[in-house]
Chain A
Amino acid sequence: DAKTTQPNSMESNEEEPVHLPCNHSTISGTDYIHWYRQLPSQGPEYVIHGLTSNVNNRMASLAIAEDRKSSTLILHRATLRDAAVYYCILRELIYNQGGKLIFGQGTELSVKP
């Protein structure tokens, strides 16, 4: 399974942008880059995913390097509710199967008022 590397923790101020980095130098051509977050005492929650192009949704943006060896999750204006552990995951393409969603250590994001 291809691995991801993330900083253990990051801190942000409320209403400022946050850039959460992820390195995945052993990514294969068919691996999708997924981001999930886990708030305290809850199950993980999907944030965003992409393959090659940058992606935007209502929660965040995903910037993927041209060589796909790294990516950055961007929260445009952090709120106190964004304090969570953010996981960057490589999900391999396996047709007709669930495939593996393997969690790395994640980045614990704290947001200061």
Chain B
Amino acid sequence: DTEVTQTPKHLVMGMTNKKSLKCEQHMGHRAMYWYKQKAKKPPELMFVYSYEKLSINESVPSRFSPECPNSSLLNLHLHALQPEDSALYLCASSQGISNTEAFFGQGTRLTVV
């Protein structure tokens, strides 16, 4: 199984809502990532988890809150988002060292209204 599964595929939320994005992998990977991608732009790194601990936060606003409850799951909790946060949110995983490939999910298309 070389899949990274993201749910939901699409999400529409209001600016006062709280929602969560979920990412799951069963490849035994110990590094997991969240990226944000706006239309026609490259993915931007948001967070990196390594061995279930947050190792990199790319100065992401606190309205985005990541969580890694176990080695297979990665969540991104969303609260009080702005319309400009509408984007494709991508999750990825890798074995945790730089000479291995990363696997990406298909993303969650988020629209904030």
A-to-B contact residues, CB < 8 Å: 30-32, 34, 36, 42-46, 49, 51, 85, 87, 91-106
- A44 vs B99: C-alpha distance in the bound complex, in angstroms? 17
Residues of the B chain whose Cβ atoms lie less than 8 Å from the Cβ of A104: 42
Which of A43, A85, A96, A100 is the one whose CB lies under 8 Å from B90?
A43
Name the CB-closest residue of B to A42: B106
Name B28-70 residues within 8 Å CB distance of A: 30-33, 42-45, 48-51, 55-56
Which of A42, A87, A95, A98 is the one whose CB lies under 8 Å from B56?
A98
Residues of the A chain whose Cβ atoms lie less than 8 Å from the Cβ of B94: 98, 101
Q: B14-40 toward A: CB 8 Å interface, digit per residue (1/0)?
A: 000000000000000011110000000
Is A101 a contact partner of B92 (Cβ separation < 8 A)? Answer: yes
Which of A32, A43, A98, A103 is the one whose CB lies under 8 Å from B99?
A32
- A46 vs B101: C-alpha distance in the bound complex, in angstroms? 6
Known contacts A87-B42, A93-B97, A103-B42; A98 and B105 CB within 8 A of each other: no
- Known contacts A94-B97, A103-B43; can you find 5 more A-B pairs with CB under 8 A? A44-B43, A97-B96, A98-B55, A101-B33, A101-B92
Name the CB-closest residue of A to B33: A98
Is B42 a contact partner of A105 (Cβ separation < 8 A)? Answer: yes
Is B96 a contact partner of A98 (Cβ separation < 8 A)? Answer: yes
Known contacts A32-B99, A94-B98; A100 and B31 CB within 8 A of each other: no
For the complex formed, measure the closest distance between the CB of A96 and the CB atoms of chain B, giving whole angstroms: 7
**Interface assignment of B13: CB less than 8 Å from any CB of chain A:** no
For the complex formed, measure the closest distance between the CB of A85 and the CB atoms of chain B, giving whole angstroms: 8
